[in-house]
Structure formats: structure tokens, C-alpha cells
Amino acid sequence: MEKLIAMAKDRFEAVNTTVLETNLDGEAVLEVHKAEKIMVFDENTYAKLKDLSFKDGVIEVSVRSQFLPEAPDFARGFIGIAFRISEDDDQFESFYVRPTNGNHEDPVRANRASQYFAYPDYKFDYFREQGITAYEAPADIALDEWIRIRAEIAGQEAVFYVNGQETLRVSDLKLGAGARGSLGLFVDIGTRGFFKDLKVTVND
């Protein structure tokens, strides 16, 4: 059954983040940015949805990122979703986008517009160090625009869509087919993230 989740602050737990209800262009949205682990990549930094047990299903949400005033030069507007988050936040998986990499003139950066990772052992730098490129892909996106992302998750497989286009297909989710947990609205270094229209379908 598909559920439209109210974007109210009290529906979410702030995990190493600040979570606010705000207004953007006349719309009520949820704002999330890092409050801890400020300069560490691919950490448990998200607004976690309360009272949800998710294993298989679909997660869909509109995201928009801006740079915080203190964002470093290597900030990319990182924003996305975390899923199958453990109760104590020591394990989860994620798909996110780097909006400033979309359509970048550097083909290497352009190919890194979207990313899959699994916490704690399979962060993006692990894949980079191993020369593995299968968990990142290009996407036609930009900073400070609404981007619709969607993840379809079943067992150990997941498909990630950006603005309706299939972007990444992962057949070996690193936490395994039996992983289960909540979901979160993920942000990373230098991002002021906005979220709206969160829809969740639980199939298990």
C-alpha cells in the first residue's frame, strides 16, 4: 500500500542533523542539514522516519539542495534517501545525488551525479579506492532545482530513478536481502536540503 507521508518535523527523528519545517517558494517543506559529523562523508546524517519497518518496497521523494554559507569547495549539494536503517543507526543503505555534477564539463564528475553506498563499510571512497564505478552514474540535474528520486527495493536488488529515468541498478545490496529498518532523508557536507511529497510503498 502506498502512503503519502506528512512532512512534519514530529514525524522524523533528527540523526546528526537539524530538521525544520519551512516554506520554500510558497510550499511547506522539510529542511534538513548536518548538525554533527560536519566534514565526514557518507555518515548517518539524516532525518529518520519514526515508526516504520521497511524491507522491500518503493521510496519516492522530491529533493532540492542549496549550499550552506559555510559549504567547502568540494561540496556538491549531496542529497538523497537512506533505507533499511538499523534501530541504533549503525547500518543503512543510501542512494543520493550530487546536483553540481549533473551535466558537468568534466566527464569524470558528470558520471558521478548519482551514488549508491552502504554504511558503514561501503562508502563512496571504498568504491573509488577499489576502482569500482558500478555504483555511480550520470544524471541530468542541477543545484537548487526540484529533483524527483525513486528507489525500488526488492531483496538484494534495487533500481534508482532520477526524474523518471533509470539511473542506477544494484543487484548486490551490501547489507543483504534480509536487511530491514526505517528510512531517512539524507544530506551530506555543505547541503541545505529540502524535501517534499514523500511516498512510501511497503511490499513485505
Q: Which of 203, 202, 196 is nearest to 51 (CA)?
A: 202
HSE-CB for 117 with a 13 A CA cutoff: 24
The cell for 37 is 559529523
HSE-CB for 66 with a 13 A CA cutoff: 8
Domain layout of the chain by residue ranges: 2-202
- What pLDDT score was predicted for residue 16? 98
Is the Cβ–Cβ distance between 151 and 83 less than 8 Å?
yes
Model's pTM, two decimal places?
0.97
- Reading the chain (204 residues) residue by residue, the pLDDT tens digits are 678 899 999 999 999 999 999 999 999 999 999 999 999 999 999 999 999 999 999 999 999 999 999 999 999 999 999 999 999 999 999 999 999 999 899 999 999 999 999 999 999 999 999 999 999 999 999 999 999 999 999 999 999 999 999 999 999 999 999 999 999 999 999 999 999 999 999 998
| Alpha carbons 179 and 187: distance in angstroms, whole number | 22
What's the CATH number for 2-202?
2.60.120.560
- What pLDDT score was predicted for residue 204? 83
